[in-house]
Amino acid sequence: MSERLKPGDTAPAFTLPDADGTEVSLADHAGRKVIVYFYPAALTPGCTKQACDFTDNLAVLAGAGYDVIGISPDKPEKLAKFREKEDLKVTLLGDPEKKVLEAYGAFGEKKLYGKVVTGVIRSTVVVDEEGKVERALYNVKATGHVAKLIRDLEI
């Protein structure tokens, strides 16, 4: 099981392909706050709800100085379908090898319908302008999470 991040930790650097196959790095966002959220799979009901919530609140978040990046184990082709089908505006990155998911503590054992399984742990990490973890939230709910995050960040 991967180690969970805590406030004050340096956010692990990453470079992953987006829905168009273009490499995107955390370093590309230096000097900005970044909300990095991890979700199990594109085109599933909970993940769609969460991605749509982030898209619907993107202007509010951007206005407060936050960029938003969603990361899942999906390949860029599936992310492109997801983006087109749901008209998503957030940056979606694919991590099929799960290296970034593991580095952020967002992959490991979790309970699913009462059974212990290994998979993506729905998580959100807020990274500050210096690349440090401001907040690390694990086992978040897909529904209502974005509204709660906005409240907690006092936006």
Q: Of 58, 46, 66, give the one whose Cα is nearest residue 126.
A: 66
Q: Of 40, 125, 25, give the one whose Cα is nearest residue 82.
A: 40
Tokens found for residue 16: 């992953």
Residues 6+ apart with CB under 8 A from 32: 65, 66, 67, 129
Amino acid found at 42:
A
CA distances from 9 to 30, 88, 91, 114 (A): 16, 30, 23, 32
Is 52 labeled as catalytic in the residue annotation? no
Q: Which of 24, 36, 47, 136 is catalytic?
A: 47
**Where in the sequence numbering do the catalytic residues fall?**
47
